[in-house]
Amino acid sequence: MKNKIFIPLIIFFTLIGFAIGDIVGLFGILVVALITFILAKSCPSVANILYTAFVFRVLVIILGIDFITLPDSIGDAWFFELVAYEWSKLGFLNAIFNFPELNESFVISYIISIFYSLTDRSMVLAQSISLLFGVLSVFMSYVLAKKLWGGRTAIKVGWFSALYPSLILYSALVMREMYICFFLLVALNNVINWTNNGSYKSFFLATLSFIMTGIFHGGMYVGLIMFIILAISFNFKKILKMLINGIITSKSSVAFALMIALIFYVSISNIFIPKIGVVTDFNELKKGILKKNLVSHRGAAKYPDWTVAQSENELIYKIPIRAIYIIFSPFPWEIKKSSHLIGLFDGTLYMFLAYLIFRNRKAIWSDPALRMIFLILLAYIIVYGIATGNFGTGLRHRTKFSIMFILLAAPLLPKFIFFKKEK
């Protein structure tokens, strides 16, 4: 039996080696394969899901090398890799200590440069890091779904995450999306744990993971802000009653300390979200949002002109419009060329998931953890909706929190014949 499995594996990786023609890159893919195998052995219920996720993502990498130019593989992806290579020339130690000089856009370049300084330049190696975070994100989707909905539903979530087109694509590109997606799922895992047990550890890990998402892209900091606000508001009455009665728990003490710290911090400083502005200064915030709203409106795939706020007063009622556009666009009447069909298909999938979430709204709102995940997702949609002005960029941004949609829709996801019951 072992030989029957071993021989196809040798053939598979040999073909990969010939296809990519890159020894360093092949080594990176083999490392990801080993990690995938270890995860599969540790959790047999998700083994087939992880293997499928790995194979599909590797095939897309090969497809982009030998046959076609993958969507979003030119531009930022090319530049991130180039910057990583230039930094790697300074050596391993210099690559490490270059971090304080970075801005959020090039944290991915910093990570890749460390690997380059130890090996050699290899686009496939850079892609294999995205591949790793892509596979890990699929595994985390299963873990979260199992906590929220149980094992049988978790299997469905795992398969949907493994086969979701945009998640496959960005797992094969030198882009930030899968890095962010993974740390976001780790954050949500700890949000669920904190909601259930109120431990210091869970809260600290959730906070740290949200910060990690923001390090890669500033707009993701809104998740941390929303989490802290919700942590306080969801438990305010309970915390107050406990404090009055002298009953102190880890959950109440953490929330109370956060409340005091938040009030103090807001009173003495400004809270700044990159690309949005200072959130504690309402006038400056409106100006920053309006500026970003106008600047982002560009390119062949830009939103219709009527969606753009021309004044600060228009921002309020156009926020829902922009939220709809970032999740569901492009719409059929906005298709101008064949490449836009990819966005149309992706937007249709989100419409399907949004419909399932609407049907599942009672279950979501009755569960504190699901309610918190939903409200954090809503905050992301609003912020990225404001800051995004074309549906090409919108497709990329919504991939960051696509698994949140899948998790919230989980119980109503359709089954396929290859979905097996968990033992």
Check residue 218 and give left, alpha or beta (phi > 0: left; psi -120 to 50: alpha): alpha
In whole angstroms, give the CA distance from residue 311 to residue 411.
42
- Widest pairwise Cα distance in the chain: 70
Closest alpha carbon to 398 in 322, 300, 336, 340: 322
Q: How many C-beta atoms lie closer than 10 Å to residue 68's C-beta?
A: 10
Give 156-178 pLDDT, tens digit per residue: 999 999 999 999 999 999 999 99
Report, as ranges of residue numbers, the positions in the chain whose pLDDT lies below 70.
Answer: 1-15, 17-18, 21, 98-104, 235-300, 416-423
Structure tokens at 188: 């949500």
**Phi and psi for 213 in degrees, rounded to 5?**
-65, -40
Q: Is the peptide bond before 330 cis (omega within 30 degrees of 0)?
A: yes
**Phi and psi for 93 in degrees, rounded to 5?**
-65, -45
SS3 call for 390: strand
Q: Locate the domains of the chain by residue range.
A: 2-72+122-412
Q: Answer yes or no: are the C-beta atoms of 355 and 378 closer than 8 Å.
A: no
Give pLDDT, residue 389: 83
Give pLDDT, residue 72: 87
Task: Give the list of residues 6+ apart from residue 167 with CB closer than 8 angstroms, or none.
Answer: 134, 137, 138, 161, 178, 181, 399, 402, 403
Give pLDDT, residue 201: 82
Chain centre to alpha carbon of residue 321 = 23
Give 223-260 pLDDT, tens digit per residue: 998 998 888 787 666 666 666 666 555 555 666 666 56
Give pLDDT, residue 188: 98
Give pLDDT, residue 417: 44
SS3 call for 157: helix
Closest alpha carbon to 372 in 408, 322, 328, 412: 408
Give pLDDT, residue 313: 73
Give pLDDT, residue 158: 96
Q: Is the pTM of this model over 0.85?
A: yes
Give pLDDT, residue 253: 63
Give pLDDT, residue 422: 47
